[in-house]
Structure 1
Amino acid sequence: MAGPDKNSIAFVATEVIPESPPPARETGIVKWGRENLFSSIPNGILTLVSLWLIYVILSSTLPWILNGVWTTSSLAECREVLAGKTGACFSVLTERWNQLLYGFKYPTDAYWRPNLAFVLMLVAIAPVLFFDLPRKMLVFTALYPFVAFWLIWGGTIMAPVVALLGFVIAGAFFQKFGRSNFALGFFGGAVIALIVWSIGGALIPEGASENAVLSAVPSRDLGGFMLNMMLGLTCVSLSIPLGIALALGRQSNMPLIKGICVVFIEFVRGVPLITLLFVASVMLSYFFPPESTVDLFLRVVIMITMFSAAYIAEVIRGGLAALPKGQYEAADSLGLDYAQAMRLIILPQALKISIPGIVNVAVGLFKDTTLVSVISMFDLVGMIRGPILASTEWNGVYWELLGFAALLFFVVCYSISQYSQWLERKLHKGH
């Protein structure tokens, strides 16, 4: 019998075949462009159209920006320097930057006070935004609103001290009664705080601000982007806890508390914000005692806070409704009371679900602060529409000023959006 043919024996590899480089179309920018820009014929057409639109926009705006003038003192001088060329007159920004940021009445020698308050704000919100920082920093966070109030407004130190005392007494009331009913403890504490502030304001001597360490600045002298930041930060900080209280009050078993919360939420959501601002400017003072003079800034804060709190309450109520009933039953089975169940089990999950909606309301609220210009408060947009464009030197400059305002608002709103996305990833535990 003949032996096996050598050619019929299968080949057995004795070593690993060396790796070959991937094809050029499967790596690098070529792969990215093929998958993201030209994955199909319609996507390729849209990519080409988008590139053409970008080219058209940049070809018309880049020369205008790059040829901009920064050193003149009026629009007429800008046009003389440009001599018919296309270019922006950025000199209005270098000439009126202080009015755009601080308003035209805030004392120039006191600019360090809002600047210091802004730096301290970054330190105060850090432990709230980032959980890895020491919890002891929250003490400064709690004291910051009163420190910032004194820095920006000046005057006697007794005003923020009385306000702090009112919050301390309200917090003690909430600790006493909030365990059984969150809404009752919250609203009761708020009423007590208002009473303490009214009594404290009546006891402060009228001439106390004259001998103060920091000179007093009336709120009507606040303006510029500083006013937008103050309104946005204050109203968002106040509307979130108020919105939580309203959402829980709407689910309360007490008919009176539930009815008040429902009427409040539905009424405020059905009224435009600009109407509430006119109410704050004209009518809100009639709801206070005749001898009291409630500051316009405080009245605007009250109205904007009420407006945003109603929307946040509905966002949080949606988060509470999204939780399965088993979570409430689990809290009851562990023997937790109402406050413990809300603080440890229910609200952490509901707030996590509600993050996108809360951020959406916060961003919209910050942009809506520009509406205060209609009631003669010179915020950033009010400064542009009023004193700057009304002056003979800069009458006719629009794109430079409005573009600067848009850039400031974009930076703040984009930062809020990016933080919310980071927070969602941080809180995502895979279940």
Structure 2
Amino acid sequence: IEDLAQLIYDLKQINPDARVCVKLVAMTGIGAIAAGVAKAKADVILISGNVGGTGASPQTSIKYAGGPWEMGLSEANQVLTLNNLRHSVRLRADGGMRTGRDIVIAAMLGAEEFGIGTASLIAMGCIMVRQCHSNTCPVGVCTQDEALRGKFSGSPEKVINLFTFIAEEVREILASLGFRSLTEIVGRTDLLQQVSRGGEHLDDLDLNPLLVKADPGHNAPYCTVEGRNEVPDTLDAQIVRDAAPLLERGEKMQLTYTVQNTARAIGSRTSSHITRRFGMHALPAGHLTVQLKGSAGQSLGAFAVQGLRIELTGEANDYVGKGLSGATIIIRPSPHLAAPETNAILGNTVLYGATSGKLFAAGLAGERFGVRNSGAVAVVEGMGA
């Protein structure tokens, strides 16, 4: 969960506006996981059921992965509410929803947002032959073959029509219950009851645990956060202020800072500003040089773009150069470190998902070096330290 929290932090640094959604498959114990995700500052938690899903999935995943969304959604909503976290995160549900009745039930079990994927595809002409991965979709919904794409008969109006009827059914059900909006019934499990199958010997399944209504206390039973859950600023807040001549007039600059390992994702927010101002490839390499001294926190140079050069004298923690996108990262050991070629100055999972850029480190790196690296160049003294 701490790795997920770091990823959420990194994503919010590289994009100061985006909300982060974490998808959880419905299963026993999902409530504890959802609570951890909420504490990690996610904005949306998606509870995904075992029905639906892409036709490119393996049969084992289609048939045996996860449980019903009703069970996962109910548990997640209850645990979040009992831990005073429900008002800080949105709950989304999907997995085989097709009717307005499904939407209303999901809302009563705690969902505020809803995903309807399979039904939307069917409205556009999908006939569920489950060949999405083979480029042979016979109705042209999921293929790059021009001959097959010519058979596609879908249109935006068909999807609009589907959602219009779903919305109308939701409105009819709400009106029959005496409510005006979905928000009024979020978490209202007291409006649900188990349908009897006709006799005690037949009703052997007790659904009462799903229908427990947790007390939200003084908080609302739904998300009340405007915008997104913000995370603490990193050193980049200062770097962006100091780099104003670069961001405003394109001046070449060099900045120097002393860092501690509490400063995470250094370079990410700066890269976001560079990209928004100049694009991904406009600045020449090293146009902005950031010199650091000390121990850098996790995700040094995460998603860093061309034009940024980070020079660190000291050591760095995990995820250096995560998603590196053109920047140059140079790490030298502290002058007092004896035999740097035998000491680790980088953490684990360096260059995870990097696509371009360079990393030079005069020392050893940890485990899982260059996992999913697809383009960055790295020079280190060794790895697996």
Range class of TM-score, shorter chain:
under 0.3
Higher strand share: 2
Higher helix share: 1
- State which structure, 1 or 2, has the greater radius of gyration over its C-alpha atoms: 1
Q: Which has the higher contact order (CA 8 A, sep 6+)?
A: 1
- TM-score of the pair, normalised by structure 2: 0.24
- TM-score of the pair, normalised by structure 1: 0.22
